[in-house]
Structure 1
Amino acid sequence: MGNRILVTGSTGSLGSKVINLLKEKTEVENLTVLVRERDDKNEFAKQYTKEGIEVKIGNYADLESLENAFKGIDVLYFVSGADENQRAILHKNVVDAAKKVDVKHIVYTSSVWNDESAASPLANLVDSHLQTENAIKASGMNYTILKHNLYAEVIAMLIGDKSQLLKTKTIYLPTANGSASFAPKQDLAEAAAIILLSPSAYTNKVLELSGSERTTFSEIAEIFSKIVEEPIQYVSPEITEFKTTMNKFGLPNHIIEILCKFSIAIANGEFDRQSNDLETVLGRKTTPLSEYLMLTYK
């Protein structure tokens, strides 16, 4: 028997990838997943149960449910929550519950950033991650903090699908000349699985998991031109112009705000980070962005 590993966010795209990789490397008896609720519509929960993986019910907002779920767990893969306004409070519940039931090692998915000031477009994100990282470090548990760069999957969120790209033949984003070291979730999940299976090798380390390439959206436009075999131009408007244009297209205000927040952050160099930590864990370069986009948009 190896360490008992629990994966939170197991019905999400990152957590489910981690579980799928762990199944290939350890006995399913060593694996537990956390889901918010068990019902007939939860296909992930049904599949995990069918495969012999223990399913625990727990919610970041319910401390008692977390304590019950974490009992007997050695290593916790803690996927950060999506609620930016409540994230720090919810995350404290996770840390407190893990400490109370004597989880041995916690692996937390954080984020990279350059600017920690209140003026940063990512101020809320940064603050909640900082509070969580500090709570984990102060808990006395062994930890590994994984500071993710932008997911390669974010590109599709920012520019739309292939049909939209072919229709406009334009990437229209206020990202200026900013670059990011995008990493596909599959690479990040593979690194997480390696760490979860050998946590002692990464005890009390903070790893910055960035892709091997720094890429601008001008370069992404060039990649797409080759993929769709048509010229794709890159236009970086002023932020006010961008908001006006998106409003004309009928995008909801909250979607426009998300697009603006991440575009400004990229333009400001928030994700312009270089680190070989992800390469070191994987033992290879990360998946080339052109290869990832070719598979996604083919």
Structure 2
Amino acid sequence: MHKKILVIGATGKTGRCLVPMLAGNTVTARPASRKKLTGHVLFDWASPETWQPAVEGINAVYLVGPDLVEDPSGQVTAFLDSARQAGVARVVGLSSLGVSFPHEPPMSGRSKVESAIMGSGLEWTILRPSGFYQNFSEGFFAPGLAAGRVQTATGSGKAAFIDATDIAAVAAVALTQPGHTGQIYALTGPQAFSISEGVEVFARSTGRTISYGALTEDEFRSMMLGFGLPAAFAEVVVRDQLAIRNGFATEVSEVVEQVIGRPPISFAQFVDSVVNVSL
């Protein structure tokens, strides 16, 4: 049977890796994004009228929720209802390892999104990745690396960050192969390291002087609000930072290798692949 898979967030860190992985004789990817791009279907979480056309004829959905929204569970629930009515059978949802941290409130927005996925009536798989390596090259830490100083509230705490490529590879398997329904996968890289250690790897690879600065919780919160993050979402980021600082993100999972048949990409491999990026 030929499968058609909707990839929400197709221009994002995991989505842009996933789309080419799904290309094959038995699978067609339908990339979805908020912008009108060639080969993409229009999909905007803030515009429900874009949802139904996006899921027409679709068998499975890779679901990435709206950006910078603390609790998008209402939107996700409504979309999944629409998808089920359109005949979609399977959903693979991108969540966060932070849902499992002790700091997480029991009714947090992202835990409610997971509940919506599990209660959707579709075959479901939930991916809970740690922080992305790509946050160093193009995300949260990138401006600091470019400026020569990275500041966080994680202190000396470590986390087993992961490459977005590996998250996409697990998603591709869960979307196209049997045996993954009803699974919640904690996804990490092969080794936990501190932000300071990650900065040192980049500094050595680029030959630049890049320092790390530890912030207090309040200092970090003020920095996030200064960046323009909505207050509720800023608290999610603060919560995850404190979880790392307190040692709750160090566990290394074997799920990536179990699902895709190879070890996860190391941070050193990732840095080697992006050293040509201007930092």
* Class of the TM-score when normalised by the shorter of the 2 chains: 0.7 to 0.9
Aligned ranges for residues 206-221 of structure 1 at < 5 Å?
A: 206-221=184-199
Aligned ranges for residues 269-288 of structure 1 at < 5 Å?
A: 269-288=247-266
Q: Bigger radius of gyration, 1 or 2?
A: 1
Overall identity of the aligned pairs, in %: 23
**1:35 offset after TM fit, Å?**
3.1
Rounded to whole Å, the distance in 2 between the matches of 1:267 and 1:72 is 45
Work out whether residues 113 and 270 of structure 1, in 8 Å CA contact, stay in contact via their aligned partners in 2: no
Looking at secondary structure, tell me which structure has more helix per residue. 1
Work out whether residues 144 and 150 of structure 2, in 8 Å CA contact, stay in contact via their aligned partners in 1: no
Distance 1:290 1:98, change over 3 A: same
Amino acid at match of 2:118: K
Work out whether residues 32 and 41 of structure 2, in 8 Å CA contact, stay in contact via their aligned partners in 1: yes
**1:109 offset after TM fit, Å?**
0.5
Rounded to whole Å, the distance in 2 between the matches of 1:89 and 1:18 is 26
**1:242 offset after TM fit, Å?**
5.7
Rounded to whole Å, the distance in 2 between the matches of 1:253 and 1:140 is 37
Work out whether residues 161 and 297 of structure 1, in 8 Å CA contact, stay in contact via their aligned partners in 2: no
Q: Superposition RMSD on alpha carbons, in Å? A: 3.2
Q: 2:117 aligns with which of 132, 136, 141?
A: 136
Q: Deviations over 1:109-129 (max 9, x none)?
A: 111126667xx3x659x7222
Q: 2:67 aligns with which of 72, 82, 92?
A: 82
Work out whether residues 73 and 116 of structure 2, in 8 Å CA contact, stay in contact via their aligned partners in 1: no
User: TM-score, normalized by length of structure 1?
Assistant: 0.77
Amino acid at match of 2:4: R
SS in 1 for 2:265: coil
Rounded to whole Å, the distance in 2 between the matches of 1:73 and 1:113 is 30
**1:221 offset after TM fit, Å?**
3.7
Amino acid at match of 1:131: K
Aligned ranges for residues 158-173 of structure 1 at < 5 Å?
A: 158=141, 160=143, 162-165=145-148, 170-173=149-152
Question: Which runs of 5 or more structure 2 residues have no equivalent in the other structure?
Answer: none
Rounded to whole Å, the distance in 1 between the matches of 2:19 and 2:264 is 20
**1:233 offset after TM fit, Å?**
4.7
User: TM-score, normalized by length of structure 2?
Assistant: 0.81
Give the equivalent residue in structure 2 for 1:60: 45
Aligned ranges for residues 75-224 of structure 1 at < 5 Å?
A: 75-113=60-98, 120=103, 123=105, 127-156=108-137, 157-158=140-141, 160=143, 162-165=145-148, 170-198=149-177, 200-224=178-202
Question: Which runs of 5 or more structure 1 residues have no equivalent in the other structure?
Answer: 49-54
**1:162 offset after TM fit, Å?**
4.7
Distance 1:255 1:160, change over 3 A: farther
